[in-house]
Amino acid sequence: MLPDHLPLLLDHCLAGLYVLSGDRIVWLNARAAEMVGCTAEELVGGSFLEFIHPTDLPLLRSKAGSADPYVVRAVRRDGELVHLEVHQRTVEKDGQRLISGAVLDVTARVRAESTEREKLQHDAFHDVLTGLPNRALFLDRLEHRLALEKRRHQTSFSVLVLDIDRFKVINDSLGHVRGDELLVEVARRLQSCLRPADTVARLSGDEFTILLEDVASAADARKVADRLREELRVPFWLGAHEVFSGASIGIAHGSAAYAHPEDILRDADTALYRAKAQGRGRCVEFDASMHDRAVELLELETSLRRALERKEFQLHYQPVVSLSTGQITGAEALLRWNHPERGLVPPMEFIPLAEETGLIVEIGAWVLREACRQMKEWQERLAQPQLEIGVNLSSRQFQGPGLVAEVAEVLRATGLSPRSLRLEVTESLLMDKHPNVAQTMTELRAMGVRIDLDDFGTGYSSLSYLHQFPIDTLKIDRSFIHRIGASDDALEIVNTILALASSLDMEVVAEGVETEQQLEQLRKMHCAYAQGYHLSRPVEAPQFETLIGTGRSWAA
Ligand code: C2E
Ligand code: MG
Ligand code: MG
């Protein structure tokens, strides 16, 4: 059977088959001829080299006589490029050296491999969601830009880092699909505002960065930043939702002084951090003092954490005095940081940062527990169960869901009665639109704990807010008390607050009483309680105990 079918079989087998003598084609099957767009008759007797892509000729020569398969590019008669995989060997026939071989057309496979390679390469340097360059590619471009800058000795680029306002809220409330849509739309809007030479990249999450080319001055970069902010303030449509967002932007201007691209990005990021701290939708330019401040803050944060572990915090107690009896009714617990090198650090130097970093929640938990423990101990040891303790709370402590449970637990663990605890909050907390706040206050009140409004008169809360919250006491800020005697206005204000408190059925504590004259005046106005250096500075626990033990009194 086989010999009859052999010619047919040879012509139609998948491989192109051939026999060469030197460059000359002695024989080839129809498939081999087809691969270069010819018929076998046309090719026999000619040279096959005319079909090989010129740049592959050296490769071909290096493979002559080798039995290893290789891929070579050939140009078909119609001009199309094909990739051929060659398997060949040298044979001796009738004393003649011939080459017999088989070729496979692997064009499709080679093309697939190279698009795969290109795709991998693309993916490694781009963000999959938005298709924008990623951090690695951005840094690479920035590095080139920086090198150019050094050669040219002129600075004409800026780096912007941009953060989408409220992204987390949008993502959490509408879901990740909508969040992704928002990011894609932001990417599109950013690109539409910039020139083709500028690079927009997505750094991570909702952070984008932009390399602005050829900015003549810092003012130019600011103008672009303003345009971007405008563009992102236009509402977004996500599904059926109209969403308002915006962006905060930090800018760092290029300079040959930068050694690494990461440094510029870091400075733009520091500026962004500043912008966000000032509220939403701001734009801030980096200056060198920010860097020092950022390093300082970072160190402070680290040492604050350490302070918690090493128990470097301590409470001082400032007596609160009843002006009708002259007796101490309790104390306000005031936090101090006993720093190993700096000594006693006042709260204003570290509480704002602890609030910013969230560390205040842990620190505040310690303050609450320690203050309650100490007061319970005094009540028992000094047989003064009516003594009260005031503890300052920061807004951050109200934001989580855990405050009510935490207070309940501390009271249970220390055995202090809820009636003995006063939590001091500030006006800004009332202004905070967080729905948790009023609810939390109500629950604390229901437990029997009292709520005092600290530094009253310094915030911007309108009086209409006051009765919406369960507040027991107004603590008049010391700035008003100071001016008693110096100005009639101040006296008038204090009088008004007293009248207001009485109509709202609240108690009043005058803070910051520094002179006998102020004290006298407050007594005359029937202010119920006072606190201040004139009565006693905040003191350490043993000294407070002495004040109570000796029955120190400030009767008129
Ligand atoms: P505050 O709650 O209004 O505390 C009263 C501040 O006024 C205390 O400052 C106290 O030492 C000071 N002071 C008392 N009497 C006088 C006076 O006659 N004249 C003057 N000039 N000052 C007087 P301190 O201890 O430096 O605390 C400052 C602020 O730090 C506190 O203001 C409070 O807002 C915050 N703070 C203190 N401890 C804590 C705490 O444990 N947690 C939180 N979140 N904040 C705290
Ligand atoms: Mg206070
Ligand atoms: Mg105060």
474-519: pLDDT as tens digits: 999 999 999 988 888 889 999 999 999 999 999 999 999 999 999 9
- Lowest average pLDDT, out of 96-100, 518-522, 529-533, goes to 96-100
Classify residue 62 by burial, with Cβ atoms within 10 Å: 0-12, 13-18, 19+.
Answer: exposed
Q: Which atom of ligand 1 is nearest to the CA of 360?
A: 44
> Rounded to the nearest whole angstrom, what is the distance from the C-alpha of residue 303 to the centroid of ligand 1?
22
Q: Taking 90 as the threshold, does the pLDDT of residue 240 lie above it?
A: no
Name the residue at shortest CA distance from atom 10 of ligand 1: 538
pLDDT at 277 over 80: no
Residue 437 CA to ligand 3 center (angstroms) comes to 20
Residue 431, C-beta contacts closer than 8 angstroms, at least 6 positions apart:
459, 460, 461, 465
Summarize the confidence of residues 72-101 as an average pLDDT.
91
**C-alpha to C-alpha distance for 491 and 470, rounded to whole angstroms:** 27
Q: Which long-range contacts (CB under 8 A, 24 or more apart) does 101-108 make?
A: 101/17, 101/18, 101/19, 101/20, 102/15, 102/16, 102/17, 102/18, 103/15, 103/16, 103/18, 103/32, 103/35, 104/14, 104/15, 104/16, 105/16, 105/35, 106/71, 107/81, 107/82, 107/83
Kindly report the average pLDDT of the chain as a whole number. 91
Q: Which residues contact 11 (CB under 8 A, 6 or more apart)?
A: 29, 30, 31
The sign of the dihedral angle between the CA atoms of 510, 516, 517, 523 is positive
Q: Return the axis-axis angle of helices 218-233 and 176-193, rounded to nearest 10°.
A: 140
CATH tag, 126-286: 3.30.70.270
Rg over alpha carbons for the chain, rounded to the nearest Å, is 40
Cα distances (angstroms) measured from residue 331 to each of 63, 166, 210, 363, 538: 95, 41, 54, 19, 9
Distance 291 CA to ligand 1 centre (A): 30
Residue nearest to atom 7 of ligand 1 (CA): 512
* d(C-alpha 53, C-alpha 81), whole Å: 8
477 CA closest ligand 1 atom index: 3
pTM of the model: 0.59
Segments of the chain assigned to CATH 3.30.70.270: 126-286
What distance in angstroms lies between residue 334's CA and the mean position of ligand 1's atoms? Answer: 6
pLDDT, residue 401, reads 80
Question: Residue 35: is its pLDDT beyond 60?
Answer: yes
pLDDT of 433 > 80? The answer is: no
Q: Is the per-residue pLDDT at 1 higher than 60? A: no
Check if the beta carbon of residue 212 is closer than 8 Å to that of residue 160.
Answer: yes
How crowded is residue 26: how many other Cβ atoms within 10 Å of its Cβ? 16
> Which pLDDT score is estimated for 217?
86
Architecture of domain 2-111: 2-Layer Sandwich (3.30)
Q: Are 105 and 83 in contact (CB under 8 A)?
A: yes
For 434-484, what is each residue's pLDDT tens digit? Answer: 778 889 999 999 999 999 999 998 766 567 778 888 999 999 999 999 998
Q: What is the pLDDT of residues 278-337, one digit of tens each?
A: 777 899 999 888 877 777 777 888 889 899 989 999 999 999 999 999 999 999 999 999
When pLDDT is cut at 50, 70 and 90, the band that residue 173 belongs to is confident
pLDDT-derived band at 4 (thresholds 50, 70, 90) equals: confident
**What superfamily in CATH does domain 299-549 come from?**
EAL domain (3.20.20.450)
Which among 161, 159, 160, 152 is positioned nearest to 256, based on CA atoms? 152
Nearest C-alpha neighbor of 133 from the set 71, 208, 197: 208
Ligand 1 atom nearest to CA at 397: 44
Q: Which residues line ligand 1 (CB under 6 A)?
A: 318, 334-335, 346-348, 351, 364, 367, 392-394, 424, 454-455, 478, 512-514, 531-533, 538
Distance 477 CA to ligand 3 centre (A): 6
Nearest atom in ligand 1 to the alpha carbon of residue 394 is 44
The phi and psi torsions of 249 (rounded to 5 degrees) equal -130, 135
Average pLDDT of span 418-437: 86
CA distance 489 to 534: 22
What is the Å distance from ligand 3's center to 426 Cα? 8
Q: Which atom of ligand 1 is nearest to the CA of 335?
A: 38
Ligand closest to 531 (CA) is 1
Best residue for ligand 1 mutational test, from 350, 369, 392 (most atoms within 8 Å of Cβ): 392
pLDDT score, position 461? 58
In order, the DSSP letters of 360-372 are HHHHHHHHHHHHH
Category of 537 on φ-ψ map: left (φ > 0), alpha (ψ -120 to 50) or beta = beta
* Residue-wise pLDDT tens digits, 120-145: 888 889 999 999 999 999 999 999 98
